[in-house]
Structure 1
Amino acid sequence: MNIKRELLPSTQPLAEAYVDNFVAVESLYENDPTSEESWLQRIKWLDESEHKRVARTALVSQLRKYNLRFNPHQAVQQSLDQLEQQGTSVIVGGQQSGLFTGPLLVIYKAVTIIKAAKAVASKLGRPVIPVFWIAGEDHDWDEVNHAYFLSSELQVKRTRISRAEETRLSVSLTQVSTEEWEYALAEIEQLLPGSEFRSGLMELLKDYSGGSSNLSECFAKLMGNWFGKHGLVLMDSADPELRKLEAPIFESMILKNDALRSAYHESARDLGLLGYEPQAEVAEDGANIFYISEQERLLLFKREGRFSDRKGKVSLSAEELLAELRNHPERFSNNVLTRPLMQDSVLPVLGAVLGPGEIAYWALTRKAFHQLELKMPLLLPRESFTVVEGTLQKYMEKYSLTWDEVRDRDVFHQKREAWLAKQDSLHIDSRFDEIKLSFAGMYDPLIEQLGEIQNGLLKLGAANRDKIIDQIEYLRSKAMDALEKSNEAGLRHWDRIELSLFPLHKPQERVYNIFYYLNRFGMDWIDGLLDIPYEVTGKHRILYL
């Protein structure tokens, strides 16, 4: 494997500034992850603030139960043994529980968490364990119910699991039927080309999905299968047992709701003063907590001292909401702004691995952390990769394409059209242009002369001319089609380059599912990602295979 750093501009300028010019945005964040002093300050604060978090023994007890079900590797139990000891910290990151783990970036995030934990533990000389937070409490089904693959016909294909009825239940509470699992597996089996690895991969998928009642369970089993041996601890944010431990933190969020809301708004204003747009909604009256009522996850707002949803399906005073929390903690969950606070209240977080969008919206949370007597952890950019297979390398070399030319869609298509034009020995386009110009030069004067004989002939002649030009254009299009067909093999090379590296006009890591690559390179491919040297900046790298 040859590894090369190449530019892949982020759509999040704030995240870019965080990595490239931290001084310019340090007022929005707590510490610079590239500074050794930042790490020392954070670990010192964690030691001093042990009493502010959920008791380790209770947390580890719950995590043992969960991981024994879905991630029962001995290395995970060793990680939990360490976590139970005061002084152990964690590197944590999370993602929604997508179908068969969703896009590649999920795998890269887990890889980054593991490598960062190992690197920091070595630097500090203290135990640091990797933790993956499965965001099973999210309810946006359309974000997680699908996986993308590149078919042998060079089409980006999606396999998708539907649900019986439209609900706003958390993904971890949304049941997936045996029939839906079987349908998705049948589609994947059709999409994956024949390889020496396909049968084993399909057996793995059938085994793990067959015993899973929802997407989160299958997600956890797959992640445990690949990363449990590296000590990666899994936790589901929708786990009812975890929710019981979180109840005191929800109580603080309810009692300090006004102060938290003010903190988010102050941060949003700070962002604006620096020229950035908030990357998460900061509603004027947002309570930033979800409440489940009648099988529906409702986002709460605070109006006139009461907590209610947008449509008024529920309306509770603070006292009534606290009573609900005491009796039914499983009915509560976080939104995008309170989840970071919950994570830091539950775990001794040394650093959080985040994607560009997450780094951008975490800028809204620093002052909210302080309201709960917490401090924002160090934010570590997720590692970013693009896989370039050997065949793609050959095609790029054949057509003299650089990475920059491929990632710039307009430039890529200009190069493609220029290549196709070179294959046109007849110069079809220019000759048709000449014919149209020559025809118009002879025909237009005749039409004018005919108009002198009878006025109606002028209109008829113009209509006749347009029909003939349409026919010339029709023949031109057919000739160009024939040219493309005669160069079909070359054009497929161009299509393969584009669809492999930027499917749906997005970076590869945001679209394709890991099983497409496991089918080509085998299960060891994931372990190979862990051998790539860790870079704390998360700068994008090309993996030439």
Structure 2
Amino acid sequence: MPSDCVTFQNSGYFSKIIIDYLNREKVLQPLYNRFPNLESFKQQIEEKQSNFNNETRHILVETLKSQYHKLKYAENSLANIELLKENNTFTITTGHQLNLFTGPLYFLYKIISTIKLCQQLKKQYPEFNFVPIYWMATEDHDFEEINHFHLENKVIHWNQEGNGPVGRRTTEGLDQVYEAFAAHIGIGKNAEQLKNWFKEAYLNHDNLSDATRYLAHQLFNSYGLVILDADNHSLKELFIPHLKHELIKKDAIIDTQKSFSILKDYTIQVNPREINLFYISDSLRERITFEENQYRVNNTSITFSENEIIEELKNYPEKFSPNVILRPLYQEVILPNLSYIGGGGELAYWLELKEVFKTHQITFPILLLRNSVLLATQKQEQKRLKMNVTWSELFLKKEILINQKTLELSKLTFNFGTQRVFLERQFEALESLAYKTDKSFVGAVKAQKTKQLNGLNHLEKRLLKAEKKSHQDTLMRLALLQSELFPNGSLQERTLNFSEFYKEYGSDMIEKLLLKLEPLDHKFDILVL
């Protein structure tokens, strides 16, 4: 197992705002409630317990039971759903898009982080219950983001026309995708399991929401994961007061922008709109706007007066969908939730939202950066050890890594720092002399200084290039190892699909991840399979 630690901060793959959040920089502290550590959760429990009622719990439980009625072998999940009736039961939530066959690897890491944190909290606070929730992003509409996944340098792609929330999309055309996947994944016990999961999920379910629920359930049912589709009439009824507030008051934009003065030195992740809601149906998801004293559904002829849209909301709350600004609020209204676990981009926009929660008098959850993992085979680990390269070094940019290793391998010293200092001093003396004798020579002296220093830099680069050539085989093997672990110079977890590893390691892969990950440690995990 690797001995060197790669923190999120020194991995080189996280934004300034996330690094500053992890470092608990004072500038960001007004934008969140509590920092994620075990001790913070006791106060979070007390605060959430005081403003989450039993009526909401009852509606949540009944909705989840309805969504689970077709799933087999769901005893652990159903037991957790029953626990949600009790006021000493709380949730830890992660959310994710309905990516085809889970999409990138970090789908697993989000959910495993959530399950593991629930287990740790139960040990710390045995008098309470903690239920892991996977919030399916069924109301999203960006089909192009979710209609493919990468498998061994091949893109498995699903073509389908249509609009509206992705969770309501039919699974039409996925029989052809299955054939392409089955042909590529090959044979073997684990390959057959993957093919069966794909076939059952996408060919035996009518819509993408049900298909995704089935697949996530197969992967995590033994850990009691509860999968929620919030595109639901009963759950939206609970959110009506907040939806009405947004339609009439339109103050989420003001609340969100209050954070922008604090975030002035950071990249703003999302920008609010005057009304942060969509109007949806099976084939429609368009923004609600307010123009000339009328509510309009963008790119349609649908309009409402204020009274009409409030009546529409009362009768059909499921037609109103929160955008990225209000979706977090919806989640925290309907769940007895303590913490949201997400990626860097997600946490960046959550940090804009505390004032929105304050206006709606809803407890702001603890924000936790999900676990990140680099998976390596035993063969890759042996290569790493043989080349005497640390995991921290493998996280470096390719050019920096190669230059650094060239210097280590070389028996020569060709850092001309000493010579550079000598030249600087010599030309300082010449400049001083020129000022005292003939100032017209100062420019010539400076030009010569630049020429000499540039020549020194050129010689240094030529020597480095020559040394790279003499160690070409070793450096090529190093570059190849890094490219295997960081495909296309990016994080493995953002590209590869879990099936690439599951085919080889089966359920042991998930078990090892569950043992390895420590959600509150804030480090980049390396797992040698």
TM-score by length of structure 2 reads: 0.81
CA contact (8 A) 1:71 1:228 kept: no
SS of structure 2 residue aligned to 1:376: coil
Hey, what does 1:23 align to over in structure 2?
A: 26
Q: Which moved more, 1:120-129 or 1:79-88?
A: 120-129
- 1:540 corresponds to which letter in structure 2? F
Paired residue for 2:170, among 163, 170, 175? Answer: 175
Matched with 1:535 is 519
**Secondary structure in 1 aligned to 2:219?**
helix
**Partner deviation per Cα, 1:390-449 (whole Å, 9 max, x = no partner):** 121233334444334433333278469979x99xxxxxxxxxxxxxxxxxxxxxxxxxxx
- Residue matched to 2:78: 77
Q: Higher mean Cα deviation, 301-310 or 518-527?
A: 301-310
Alignment of 1:312-323 (within 5 A): 313-323=301-311
Task: Return the letter of the residue paired with 1:127.
Answer: N
Q: Could you tell me how far apart the structure 2 residues matched to 1:489 and 1:191 are?
A: 33
CA distance 1:264–1:63, shift in 2 (3 Å): same
Give the aligned partner of residue 436 of structure 1.
none
| Corresponding residue of 2:491 | 507
CA–CA distance in structure 2, aligned partners of residues 210 and 112 of structure 1: 29
What is the alpha-carbon distance in structure 2 between the residues aligned to residue 299 and residue 3 of structure 1? 51
Structure 1 counterpart of 2:254: 262
Q: How much identity, in percent, do the aligned residues show? A: 25
Distance 1:220 1:369 in 2: 29
Q: In structure 1, what residue type is equivalent to 2:310?
A: L
Q: Structure 1 residues 230, 217: CA separation in 2 closer, same or farther (over 3 Å shift)?
A: same
Matching residue of 2:416? none
Tell me how far apart the structure 2 counterparts of residues 394 and 340 of structure 1 sit (CA, whole Å): 44
Distance across 2 between alignment mates of 1:161 and 1:495: 33
C-alpha deviations, 1:513-536, integer Å up to 9, x for none? 111110011122112211225231
Q: Tell me, what secondary structure is at the counterpart of 1:270?
A: coil
Conserved 8 A contact 1:145-1:160 = yes
Q: Give the superposed CA RMSD.
A: 2.8
Task: Mark the runs of 5 or more structure 1 residues left unpaired by the alignment.
Answer: 151-155, 423-482
Equivalent position SS for 2:263: helix
SS at match of 2:101: helix
TM-score w.r.t. length of structure 1: 0.78
2:141 corresponds in structure 1 to: 139
| Equivalent of 2:157 in 150, 160, 166 | 160
Q: Aligned ranges for residues 31-180 of structure 1 at < 5 Å?
A: 31-34=34-37, 36=39, 38-51=40-53, 55-70=56-71, 72-125=73-126, 126-150=128-152, 156-163=153-160, 165=161, 167-177=162-172, 180=173
Tell me the residue number matched to 1:411: 399
Other-structure match for 1:375? 363
> How far has the Cα of 1:158 moved from its partner?
0.8
**Partners of 2:48 and 2:363 within 8 A in 1:** no
The answer on whether the counterparts of 2:398 and 2:479 sit within 8 Å (CA) in structure 1 is no
Counterpart Cα distance in 1 of 2:38 and 2:200 = 45
Q: CA deviation at 1:129?
A: 1.1
Alignment of 1:364-513 (within 5 A): 364-411=352-399, 414=402, 497-513=481-497
- Which residue of structure 2 aligns with residue 333 of structure 1? 321
- The equivalent of 1:355 in structure 2 is 343
Task: Rate the CA distance shift 1:226–1:244 in 2: closer, same or farther, 3 A.
Answer: same
Distance 1:168 1:404, change over 3 A: same
Structure 1 residues 3, 247: closer, same or farther in 2, change over 3 A? farther
- Asked if the contact 1:392/1:497 (under 8 Å) is kept, the reply is yes
Query: What amino acid is the match of 2:254?
Result: S
How far apart are the structure 1 equivalents of 2:130 and 2:193? 34
Give 5+ residue unaligned stretches, structure 2.
411-468
In structure 2, the CA distance between the partners of 1:412 and 1:402, relative to structure 1 (3 Å rule), is farther
Superimposed CA distance per residue, residues 354-376 of structure 1 (whole angstroms, 9 cap, x where no aligned partner): 11111111011100001111121
CA distance 1:307–1:266, change in 2 (3 Å): farther
- Segment drifting more, 400-409 vs 340-349: 400-409
- The size of the alignment, in residue pairs, is 464
Q: Is the 8 A contact 2:296 2:304 kept in 1?
A: yes
Q: In the alignment, residue 256 of structure 2 is paired with which amino acid?
A: Y
How far apart, CA to CA, are the structure 2 residues paired with 1:106 and 1:287?
30
Q: What secondary structure is seen at the aligned counterpart in 2 of 1:197?
A: helix
Q: Secondary structure at the match of 1:168?
A: coil
Sort the Cα spacing of 1:374 and 1:242 in 2 relative to 1 into closer, same or farther, 3 A: closer
- Structure-2 separation of matches of 1:18 and 1:129: 26
Q: Report the CA distance shift for 1:526/1:210 in structure 2 as closer, same or farther (over 3 A).
A: same
1:307-354 deviation per Cα after TM superposition (whole angstroms, max 9, x unaligned): 335546443333222121122222111111101100110011111111
Counterpart in the other structure of 2:214: 221
TM-aligned CA deviation for residue 294 of structure 1: 8.1
Which deviates further from its counterpart, 83-92 or 214-223?
Answer: 214-223
